[in-house]
Chains A and B, each alone.
Chain A
Amino acid sequence: MNEWDEEYQNRRYQEIQQLIEWKKLDEARRSAVSLIQDAPEDPDAHALLAHICLYQDQYDQALHWASEALRHDPENQLAWFVRSNTYYTMERWKSALEAITEGQRIDPYEPHYFFLLANIYNKTSKYEEARELLLKALELSPENALYLANLSYNEALVRNFVESRLLASHALRLEVESDLVYLYLAWSAERRNDYDEYLLMLKNAIRLDPDDQQIRKEYMEGLQKTYKLYRILLYPSSLAKRMKPWQVLLIWIGLWIIFRPLVIAFIVLYYAVYWITRLMVHVRIFGWQFRK
Chain B
Amino acid sequence: MSDYNDHDDLANRRRNKLKVLRFDNNGKDLIESEKPEENFADVGGLEDVKKKIRMNFILPLKQPELFAAYGKEAGGSLLLYGPPGCGKTFLARAVAGEIDANFMHIELQAILGMYVGQSENNLHDIFEKARENKPCVIFIDELDAMGGSRNQMRQHHDRILVNQLLMELDGLRTFNDQVFVIGATNTPWYLDSALRRPGRFNHMIFVPPPEEAERAVILQLKLAGKPLSTLDLSKISRETKHFSGADLEQIVKDAVECALERTLDTGEIQPITQDDLKKASKHRKATTLDWFATAKNYATFSDVNQDYQIVLDYMKQNGMK
Contacts and interface: CB of A to CB of B under 8 A. Distances in A.
Interface residues of A, number: 25
Contacts of B151: 176-177
Interface in B148-207: 148-149, 151-154, 158, 187, 190
Contact of A23 (B187, B297, B301): B187
Contact of A219 (B145, B148, B294, B301): B301
B298 A24 contact: no
A214 to B, nearest CB: 13
A285 B300 CA distance: 7
Q: Which of A22, A177, A285 has the most CB of B within 10 A?
A: A22
Interface residues on B, range: 20 to 34
A3 to B, nearest CB: 14
A289 B321 contact: yes
Nearest to B145: A22
A5 interface: no
A129 interface: no
A15 B300 contact: no
A206 B302 contact: yes
A292 interface: yes
B301 A27 contact: no
Given A14-B116, A14-B117, A210 B152 contact: no
Given A21-B154, A27-B108, A210 B297 contact: yes
Main secondary structure of the interface of B (DSSP, over half): helix
A158 B289 CA distance: 44
B100 interface: no
Contacts of A207: 301-302, 304
Output the residue of B116, B144, B300 with the most chain A CB within 10 A.
Answer: B116
Interface in A2-22: 11, 14-15, 18-19, 21-22
Contacts of B304: 207
Given A21-B154, A23-B187, A177-B152, A211 B297 contact: yes
A290 B190 CA distance: 27
A85 B152 CA distance: 22
A291 B319 CA distance: 11
10 contacts: A15-B112, A18-B112, A18-B115, A24-B145, A27-B108, A177-B151, A210-B297, A210-B302, A216-B301, A290-B321
Interface of B: 108, 112, 115-117, 142, 144-145, 148-149, 151-154, 158, 187, 190, 294, 297-298, 300-302, 304, 316, 321
Interface of A: 11, 14-15, 18-19, 21-24, 27, 176-177, 206-208, 210-211, 216, 219, 285-286, 289-292
